[in-house]
Amino acid sequence: MNTPPPRSDGPSAFTPRQAAAYLRGQHHVALCLIENGAAPHDWQASSYTTPEALLDSLVAVVPEYAWTAIDGRCVLHPRQDIWRAPLSGEAFRGPRLQTAQAYVEFLRGNAPEMADLVPPLLKGDPAAALYTATVSIRANCSALQGLVDLLGPDPSMVFAIERQDANRRVLFFERVDMGRGHHEHE
């Protein structure tokens, strides 16, 4: 990840993707990200002590973004209504990878703004809990809620929707090192 090092003499220029990587790596924040391709903005992260304060400081300088807390998870996302609007639909349940693939197809079919979303790709061990843990998505929820539901109960799980090119955004799952006092589940 191309994350600028923090500077002590003033702000550094970060894209939202780089800021999310910085918060995950340096502050152990289990932050989910939906990328829209915003340009870098000057942002000073080191003077804030809570994840909420860090995120408030970030969205204050990146007006295209908001952050939302859902079920104890922080999600940095574009300020488009489609992410928070309720979507009429069925509940989903099954192994994370298959459930995510089905949910992405549901989103693509129900929200034209998500037509460029690509289902998650398998990277690594296909038998890992990252892909096989059973998850549930509630019916008639927002896209943000459904994506958070895909994470299950493990607090170190995060998702990212990252722009791959002008025509595609891809959903990824990963674990964040939560630092001391937190446990990862496998």
Q: What is the mean pLDDT of residues 85-90?
A: 88
Q: Tell me, what's the pLDDT at 57? A: 85
38, 105: one domain: no
In terms of residue numbers, what domain contains 45? 1-79
Look at residue 107 and tell me if it is in a domain.
yes
Chosen domain end from 53, 79, 105: 79
74, 89: one domain: no
Look at residue 137 and tell me if it is in a domain.
yes
Q: Residue 93: is its pLDDT beyond 80?
A: yes
Look at residue 62 and tell me if it is in a domain.
yes
Per-residue model confidence as pLDDT tens digits over 45-66: 666 677 888 888 888 888 889 9
Q: What is the pTM of this model?
A: 0.84
Q: Residue 27: is its pLDDT beyond 90?
A: no
17, 74: one domain: yes
70, 87: one domain: no
One-letter-per-residue 3-state SS of the chain: CCCCCCCCCCCEEECHHHHHHHHHHHHCCCEEEECCCCCCEEECCCCCCCHHHHHHHHHHHCCCEEEEEECCEEEEEECCHHHCCECCCCCEEEEHHHHHHHHHHHHHHHCHHHCCEECCCCCCCCCCHHHHCEEEECCCCEHHHHHHHCCCCCCCEEEEEEEEECCEEEEEEEECCCCCCCCCCC
Look at residue 169 and tell me if it is in a domain.
no
Counting the structural domains of the chain, the total is: 2
Chosen domain end from 79, 105, 134: 79
Q: Tell me, what's the pLDDT at 2? A: 43
7, 68: one domain: yes
